Structures are given as structure tokens and as C-alpha cells.
Amino acid sequence: MKYQVIGTSGIEVSRIAFGAWEVGGGTAWDCDDQAAGNMVAALPDIGINFIDTAKVYGTGRSEELLGKALKGKRHDFILASKGGMNWRDGSGERFCYDRDGRSVYQNTSPEALRLDLEESLTRLDTDYLDLYFTHRQPINVPIADTMGALMRFKEEGKIRAIGISNASIPQLEEYLRYGKVDVVQEKFSLFDRGEVLDYISFCKEHGITFQAYSALERGILTDRFSAQTAVSPGQGAYGMIWYGAERRADVLSLLDELKSIAEGYGLSVSALALSYVLTWGEHINAICGSRKPEHLSQSALGADLTLPRDTMDRIFALVDALHEKYTDSRHRF
């Protein structure tokens, strides 16, 4: 496993982070309460020291289970969580969704973020977080106020570094007017092609780590995706466009091609997909969600390979052909 430093924070992490949304279970993922402990126990052998979770994953359940699993070994890991989305009192900038019998609202005000952070620290049974993200970006709250709260958390020693998720370049620029952002978290996979490359370049220029989520498209870019794979409303993978029945045959055909490429390197499709993401730059980190140690171990091998240009070009061509059929667009280099 290769390692990197997050932004300019001095925090060293594995290039692949364990994504703990799935082990939060709930209506989003079919997962028992033992999975979090099993995953945490397996991480050192896989070489992963970086754990990513969020307040809303399993509506608090992911953090609670991680808190128990990390008891006695909290300092062996770099721990990240996210705030700005809550189900406390029905107040906020906007309604987000209903899940697990809760109505989740977005609120990035300093007061709401303070409550979010304290609740996360309690569930995770720790007195600090290594990284803390705003999960979604302010709508009616000035970014100056949101960033001011994050800077205070950092000054108080409750967080070590600041991240933002689901943001644009202008929003990141606004954050940087008021303090240091060390990491951004955005959706990026081989299916996304060129849409986020400008953001990746901007982060490199400003010494910011770009962390990719949904790098495996919530299970599509694995050897386990098949014609029988199905998702229902409320599940974590529901709404991902490449799960659609009208695209299924073409996606499976692409996966056959990717499997052929992956086998040439002695890897799985998931490892190839993660390698693709990481090949875009040494400042990139990838989150890999999993409920089974053997799946994460297999996927994590992708961190050890930087794909050569001819392989990247072959993947571009395959994905462009798929997108042309459904979106009539081309990859931007």
C-alpha cells in the first residue's frame, strides 16, 4: 500500500481509505452489526490506516459501530467524518431525504456544525477527528461563517484538518479566502471521464488532496456486478444511472473488457478501477466502501499500480463508446 500526506496537514494516510457508509447498514445497505468490527480488525493487514465515515451514514449507526470497533486502537487510524446534515429538529437550509425513519436536513450554520461535531465525537468515542468535512455546501449560510466554525474547531484541537465535499471550484476558492482546506471529496470514477479533471488540476495547483468517492460506482465496477444485480428505492446504490435496465447489457459488455485488462495486470476489476482513479495524480486518494475484508483487500491492490498511458487510452475509448450511445458526448482530455 502506498501512502501520501493530506494537503499540507502532515497527516499521512494510505492512498485508499476504507469507506464506512456500508457498515452503517440501515435501509441503505444490507449489513449486520459485526461488519464494522470485522473491517477495522482487517485494515492493518490490508495496509489501510484511513477510515472515512459521516454523521448520516446509517443515521449515526456507522459512527456508533466504528466507535466500538476502534476502542483501544483509535490512535492507530486516521479518522474522518462529515457534518452539516442532521435529523435533530427539522430545521435547516433544505430537506435532503427520508431514511431509516428519519428526515434529514442540511444545515451548515456554525451552531448546527458545532452540534454535529459533538454528536460525532460522542458516537465515535473520541475527543478529536483527524479530518472533518462539510458534507454538502452552504445554500443560505455564508461560506465565511461555515469556514469560521471549522477554523475554531481546529483551534480547539477537536479536528486536525478541514475538508469539503460536493463542492465546486468557486466554492473552494471562497473557503480558501478564510482559511486552509487540505482535502476535497468528490465523485470520480472511470465512468465520470473528464468532468472533474479541472477540479483535480485546481487541487494540485493549490496543494489540496482530491479524495474520490463512488470510485467503484457503488458496486458496478466490481467482478460481482451481474445481470441479476438489483437495487430498490432507498438502497445505497439506487439512482446510479449505470444500474438501469436499459444500460445493463452494455455495462456488462464494458465490464468484460475491463476484466480482460485487469487480468493482464493480475488484478480484479475493482482494483483496476481504483488504479485508474489514482493514476490521475499523486495528490489523489480513493475511498473504497466494503462490508467484507476479502473484497477490500482485493480492491486495495489497485493502489500499487500506476496505469500506463496506453491502458488509460484503451479505457477512455471503451467508456467513450458507452457514453456516446447514451449521452452523445466525448471525453475531454
In 10 A of CB 224, how many CB atoms?
Answer: 11
Catalytic annotation on 105? no
**Active site residue: 3, 57, 97, 199, which one?**
57
Q: How many helices (H) and strands (E) does the chain have?
A: 10, 13
Q: What backbone phi and psi angles, to 5 degrees, belong to 25?
A: 60, -125
Determine the Cα angle at 24 with ends 40 and 16, to 5°: 45
Contact assessment for residue 179 and residue 151, using Cβ atoms and an 8 Å cutoff: yes
**Residue with the three cell numbers 486502537:** 73
**Residue with the three cell numbers 469556514:** 147
Integer angstrom CA distances of residue 276 from 56, 143, 193, 316: 29, 33, 10, 10
Q: Give CA–CA dist 241/221, Å, rounded.
A: 13
Q: Which amino acid is at 89?
A: D
Sign of torsion, CA 115 237 218 189?
Answer: negative
Phi-psi region of 140 (alpha: psi -120 to 50; beta: other; left: phi over 0): alpha
Q: Quick check: helix, strand or coil at residue 189?
A: coil
Active-site residues, by number, are: 57
